[in-house]
Amino acid sequence: MKKIALVTGGTSGIGLATVEALHRKGYIVVFTSSKSQVAGEQIASQDREALRYLQCDVTNKDQISSVKDTLVEHYGRLDVLINNAGYTEVVPHSNFEGATDELWMKIFTTNVMGTWWMSTLFHDLLKAEAGSIVNITSIAGLRPIGSSIPYSVSKAALNQMTRLLAASMDNVRVNAVAPGLIDTPWTESWDQLRENVRRVAPLHRSGTPEDVAQVVVSVAEAAYLTGEVIAVDGGLTLKV
Ligand SMILES: NC(=O)c1ccc[n+]([C@@H]2O[C@H](COP(=O)([O-])OP(=O)(O)OC[C@H]3O[C@@H](n4cnc5c(N)ncnc54)[C@H](OP(=O)(O)O)[C@@H]3O)[C@@H](O)[C@H]2O)c1
């Protein structure tokens, strides 16, 4: 029987590359996004047997429940959950007024609560298959850097949530992959940062979504790995 993977935010960037990598490995991949339904359906149309797009905003518990209903009805199992959907806005760290309460709430509801709701709701299915969770965090959760303070704090919280869930979930492996600067629509306009990474990082380039997806799939399948946060950053955190 084919294994089932669920990827949040699978229509673009790191999420899409992860959907494609899991698909190549033979998984049936269910993937979600909050708005990009047309892109989602187009991706799924490449292989309707093994790719299924579902609209689901990770901040909406009813929509998450309905994804679970669909999974149970069509496949009856879940082996791998990739919590990839995230949100940020660029706010210089010294601009305290710019980090509004609304921004804190939006970032935390998406990045932290979204991951919590997904992980706890799908826990029973994952446990039945001795499955695994991979949270996409960020090196912004490891160093005092990142697009905004609320974003970096949310990713630090997710790194700690990864360890806490790994310790609390019997027979479900929980790990995080923490990317550095990756070339996706999210970072399209961050040329200055890209230049800094080229200069400073030992591998002298920003990453591709495929660089991250390769590690995500390895971590998802690593049978004796749990509670780890693995940076995929071309060595940037060795220098910052
Ligand atoms: N790019 C980087 O340099 C970098 C570095 C470190 C960490 N990361 C992390 O990697 C993850 C993916 O980033 P990316 O650069 O690949 O971004 P991206 O290309 O902008 O893709 C984001 C994906 O998430 C979906 N999404 C956004 N909000 C959502 C929500 N509330 N519910 C469900 N899906 C949602 C988007 O679709 P819709 O808009 O249609 O919902 C899209 O499919 C994020 O968690 C980010 O923090 C990225």
pLDDT above 90 (res 149): yes
For residue 96, give every residue at least 6 positions away whose Cβ sits within 8 Å of its Cβ, in sequence order, or none.
none
- 207 DSSP assignment: B
- Specify the CATH number for the domain of residue 183: 3.40.50.720
| Ligand 1 centroid – CA 86 distance (Å) | 5
For residue 59 and ligand 1, the question of a CB distance below 6 A is answered with yes
Domain that holds residue 108: 4-238
For residue 206 and ligand 1, the question of a CB distance below 6 A is answered with no
Q: Are 237 and 212 in contact (CB under 8 A)?
A: no
- 225 DSSP assignment: -
For residue 153, give every residue at least 6 positions away whose Cβ sits within 8 Å of its Cβ, in sequence order, or none.
141
Q: Count up the domains in the chain and report the number.
A: 1
Which of these is catalytic: 27, 75, 151, 224? 151
For residue 66 and ligand 1, the question of a CB distance below 6 A is answered with no
For residue 86 and ligand 1, the question of a CB distance below 6 A is answered with yes
Tell me the percentage of the chain whose pLDDT exceeds 90.
Answer: 100
Of ligand 1's listed atoms, the one at least distance from the Cα of 85 is 24
| Ligand 1 centroid – CA 128 distance (Å) | 28
DSSP string, 166-192: HHHSTT-EEEEEEE-SB-SGGGTT-HH
| Ligand 1 centroid – CA 8 distance (Å) | 9
pLDDT above 90 (res 184): yes
Please compute the mean of the pLDDT values over residues 47-61 and round it to a whole number: 98
pTM of the predicted model, to two decimals?
0.99
Alpha helices per DSSP H over the chain: 13-24, 37-44, 61-74, 101-107, 114-121, 123-128, 149-168, 191-200, 209-221
Please compute the mean of the pLDDT values over residues 24-29 and round it to a whole number: 98
pLDDT above 90 (res 1): no
Active-site residue, 27 included: no
Which residue minimizes the CA distance to atom 47 of ligand 1? 86
Please compute the mean of the pLDDT values over residues 211-223 and round it to a whole number: 99
pLDDT above 90 (res 102): yes
For residue 119 and ligand 1, the question of a CB distance below 6 A is answered with no
> Residue 191: pLDDT band by 50, 70, 90 thresholds?
very high
For residue 110 and ligand 1, the question of a CB distance below 6 A is answered with yes
| Ligand 1 centroid – CA 1 distance (Å) | 30
Contacts of 19-26 with CB under 8 Å at 24 or more apart are 19/43, 19/51, 20/213, 21/210, 21/213, 21/214, 21/216, 21/217, 22/80, 22/82, 22/217, 22/220, 23/47, 23/50, 23/51, 25/217, 26/2
Write down the mean pLDDT value for the chain.
98
Which residue minimizes the CA distance to atom 14 of ligand 1? 13
Span 4-14, pLDDT tens digits: 999 999 999 99
> Residue 49: pLDDT band by 50, 70, 90 thresholds?
very high
For residue 36 and ligand 1, the question of a CB distance below 6 A is answered with yes
Dihedral pair phi/psi, residue 203, rounded to 5°: -90, 0
Of ligand 1's listed atoms, the one at least distance from the Cα of 10 is 43
